[in-house]
Amino acid sequence: MAYTYDDTNIFAKILRGEIPNKTVLETEHSLAFEDIAPQAPIHVLVIPKGPYVSYDHFAQAASDAEIVDFTRTIGQVCEKLGLQPPSGNGFRAISNTGAHGVQEVPHLHVHILGGRMLGRMLQRAE
């Protein structure tokens, strides 16, 4: 599978420092920052610094170091925000991909949502 990464996307601009962001955590290979239009009291996006379009692209093409760093960053963000049960009330991690996933920004991002009851995972849209 050939993936094409468009480096004019908004998260590429954030990574280049061309657009400001509210950083929650930064590591060697990953960046976590607040979503500009939060859907919950806590809404953080975690992205790899490398040029990956989607979760499947990242899973296939990223180095072991990038994958470990990204996964651990998600865990550290949840810990930093106090989301983990049993002390926290939990969270939802979502990564939208492509047209059916309704992905707006073509750079892999995992949404971390919490701070309120989020309801069921999906609603039927038929």
- Residues forming contacts to ligand 5GP in the complex (CB under 6 A) are 10, 19, 21, 33-37, 96, 102-105
* Least spacing, CB of residue 86 vs ligand 5GP, in Å: 28
Fill in the amino acid letter for 120: R
The Cα–Cα gap between 69 and 48 comes to 9
Closer CB to ligand 5GP, residue 64 or residue 92? 92
Respond yes or no: is residue 109 known to be catalytic.
Answer: yes
For the chain, first and last CA: distance in Å? 30
Closer CB to ligand 5GP, residue 29 or residue 109? 109
* Least spacing, CB of residue 103 vs ligand 5GP, in Å: 4
Phi, psi (degrees; rounded to nearest 5) at 64: -60, -40
